[in-house]
């Protein structure tokens, strides 16, 4: 199964509340009609953290498909095309990638179970000296165990690896990967996670991060809303 991960920012002059309301109540029903889509989840950034946590995006959409053929068919469907037209009504910019999931901590497997959890998403760009294969292997095999060891309050951890074959496409992936970590509350999210560092890194994961990922890492904190499950 593959997943489309789409990040978006609201139109200029639109409030976060209006953006998220339109996205959920007007746009989501259009996307829900797309054929071949197995699941669709919206992640709404937390308005209460905007003053303290620099949100990279106002929202993130995730849509799952059986394979590339199903995804390609979805793109030419009338439902998808109608949603593309509607996007201009509330989206001012964004980014996307097609990815495969790697489950590191696979608890809370159902998005409906995660409705009350706080979800961190980071947007990774590999350092120039790394190939896509080297980046993916390091992130999965070396960096992931360090994160698990460092983030004690994390209850779920998923890596989204950009599909290697999409790098040669006309629109290559915006990022090399998107890590997602869930916490039981906003208070459980480590203070330094997702915020620009003002001091040298001290944890094993943050030290390793600087050898693999372009810094600082854009990020957002959100809660999930299930549209199609």
Percentage above 90 pLDDT, the chain? 90
pLDDT of 196:
79
- Strand-pair category, 118-122 with 37-45: unpaired
Give the rounded distance of the alpha carbon of 225 from its chain centre: 14
The span from the CA of 44 to the CA of 162, in Å, is 22
pLDDT of 129:
97
* Domains of the chain: residue spans and CATH: 2-228 (3.30.70.100)
DSSP secondary structure string for all residues of 11-27: PTT--HHHHHHHIIIII
Q: Minimal CA–CA distance to 159: which of 200, 93, 104, 106? A: 104
| Residue 127, number of CB atoms within 10 A of its CB | 14
pLDDT of 44:
98
Residues 6+ apart with CB under 8 A from 145: none
Listed as own residue / partner, the contacts of 191-199 with beta carbons closer than 8 Å and 24 or more positions apart are: 193/120, 193/151, 193/219, 194/53, 194/54, 194/120, 194/122, 194/219, 194/220, 194/221, 195/53, 195/54, 196/54
126-169 confidence digits (pLDDT tens): 999 999 999 999 999 999 999 999 999 999 999 999 999 999 99
Percentage above 70 pLDDT, the chain? 100
The span from the CA of 207 to the CA of 211, in Å, is 7
More confident residue, 122 or 54: 122
pLDDT of 172:
95
19-63 confidence digits (pLDDT tens): 999 999 999 999 999 999 999 999 999 999 998 888 999 999 999
């Amino acid at each position: 199964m593959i997943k489309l991960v789409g990040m978006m920012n609201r139109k200029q002059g639109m409030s976060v509340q209006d953006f998220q309301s339109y996205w959920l109540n007007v746009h989501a029903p259009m996307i829900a009609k797309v054929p071949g889509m197995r699941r669709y989840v919206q992640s709404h950034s937390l308005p209460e953290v905007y003053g303290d946590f620099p949100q990279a995006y106002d929202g993130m959409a995730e849509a799952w498909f059986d394979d590339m053929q199903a995804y390609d068919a979805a793109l030419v469907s009338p439902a998808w095309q109608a949603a593309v037209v509607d996007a201009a009504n509330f989206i001012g910019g964004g980014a996307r990638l097609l990815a495969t999931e790697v489950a590191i901590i696979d608890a809370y497997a159902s998005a409906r179970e995660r409705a009350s959890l706080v979800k961190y998403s980071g947007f990774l760009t590999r350092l120039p000296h790394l190939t896509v294969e080297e980046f993916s292997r390091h992130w999965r095999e070396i960096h992931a165990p360090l994160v698990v060891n460092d983030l004690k309050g994390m209850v779920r951890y998923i890596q989204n690896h950009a599909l290697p074959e999409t790098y040669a496409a006309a629109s290559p992936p915006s990022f090399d990967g998107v890590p997602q970590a869930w916490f039981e509350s906003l208070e459980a999210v480590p203070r330094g996670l997702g915020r620009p560092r003002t001091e040298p890194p001290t944890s094993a994961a943050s030290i390793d991060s600087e050898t693999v990922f372009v810094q600082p890492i854009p990020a957002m904190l959100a809660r999930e809303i299930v549209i199609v499950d």
